[in-house]
Structure 1
Amino acid sequence: MSNSIKLSPRNVPDPLSVPSLSSVTWDGCKLEARVDISLDTASEMKPVYIIFFWVEGFRMLDEFNLNEFWDKKKKISSWLCEVESGGWLDHEKSRSGFLSREDNLKEYLIIGQEECLSVFSNTDPVIIEPDL
C-alpha cells in the first residue's frame, strides 16, 4: 500500500473540532455510521448519520494505526472523504484473491477523534443531518 493517500472531501457540516464516530450499525445490506459533531462552543454534540447501501466491505481502525497516511503539512478539509487512490481499496485490489473489482466500487473514509471507518460501496452515501 502506498503511503500517499488522495482524498476528495465530501460536503458535510464543518464542526469546531474533530467529530466523534459514536456508532456503526451493519444489517447485512446497509451500514449506518453515527458521527457526533459540535458546531459552536455553546452547543451540545449533534448527530449526523452517514448511510451506505450496497456495501462490499468495511473496517474501523484507531486513527493512530493510519498515522503513516496523514500528511502533517496538509489539513484534511472534511471528516468524510472519498478515497481516490492510495487507500485500503487499492491495497485490496492488489491481492489476487480480491474479487470485488467493479468499476463503480468506491472507498469512503470517515475520520473521527479516535477511530476511522473505511467503507467500500457501489453508491454514494446518504447524509442525514437532523436538528442542525
Structure 2
Amino acid sequence: MQRVIATSIETPWVFQSGTDIMSVHLEWGELAITLMSGGDRKVAVVRFSEIIGFRFLDEGDLLEFWPACAAAQGWLFRIEENGWFDLEASRPGFIRSEVKGLSEYFVASQNGCVSVLTGDLPKVEIWPI
C-alpha cells in the first residue's frame, strides 16, 4: 500500500476540536460538503464545481491517507499522489485518467471522509452557529 502525498489547504478557520461531516449535497453540478465542530461553534461549507466524481468512506477504510491527511494537518487537502484518482486511473475503463486540469481533494473528518475529483478549486465558507 502506497502512502498518499497531500498538501493541506489553508482555510479561513482552523478547527480547534474534531469535525464531523453533517451533509454531502450534489445539485446542478455543485457539490457542497458541510462540516461542523461543536467545540468551536463553527460550520464550514466547502463547495466544488466541475465535479467529475466523489466518494464518501469511513476514515478506517482509508488508512493510506494517514498521516498526510491527519487532523493535525487540517481538514481540507489537495491530493498530489496515490489517492483515489490514481486508484481509478489504474483501471482500463477510467477514460479521464489523461484529462488535464483535473484535481483530487480530500475532506477529512471524524465520521467519514470525502474524496472529490474536480476541474475547479474548492470554495470555503465559515459560519458561526
Shorter-chain TM-score tier = 0.7 to 0.9
TM-score normalized by the length of structure 2: 0.88
Q: Which residue of 2 aligns with 1:11?
A: 10
Q: Which residue of 2 aligns with 1:24?
A: 24
Name the CA distance, whole Å, in 2 between partners of 1:48 and 1:76: 17
Q: Is the 8 A contact 2:3 2:65 kept in 1?
A: yes
Q: Which amino acid aligns with 1:47?
A: V
Name the CA distance, whole Å, in 1 between partners of 2:84 and 2:113: 12
Name the CA distance, whole Å, in 1 between partners of 2:112 and 2:65: 14
Q: Which residue of 2 aligns with 1:87?
A: 83
| Stretch deviating more after TM superposition (75-84 or 97-106) | 75-84
Shift of 1:4: 1.1
Shift of 1:131: 3.4
Call closer, same or farther: CA 1:16–1:54 in 2, change over 3 Å: same
From 45, 51, 61, the equivalent of 1:65 is 61
- 1:50 and 2:49 correspond: no
Tell me the alpha carbon deviations over residues 104-124 of structure 1, each in whole angstroms, 9 at most, x when there is no partner. 100000001110000000001
Instruction: Pick the structure with more helix per residue.
Output: 2
Q: Which amino acid aligns with 1:29?
A: G
TM-score normalized by the length of structure 1: 0.86
SS at match of 2:22: strand
Structure 1: state its 5+ residue gaps. Answer: none
Name the CA distance, whole Å, in 2 between partners of 1:115 and 1:99: 27
Q: Which residue of 2 aligns with 1:96?
A: 92
Name the CA distance, whole Å, in 1 between partners of 2:16 and 2:91: 39
Shift of 1:27: 1.4
Name the CA distance, whole Å, in 2 between partners of 1:68 and 1:130: 31
SS at match of 2:88: helix
Name the CA distance, whole Å, in 2 between partners of 1:47 and 1:6: 27
Q: Is the 8 A contact 1:3 1:69 kept in 2?
A: no
Identity of aligned residues (%): 28
Q: Which amino acid aligns with 1:52?
A: F
Tell me the alpha carbon deviations over residues 91-112 of structure 1, each in whole angstroms, 9 at most, x when there is no partner. 1111110011311100000001
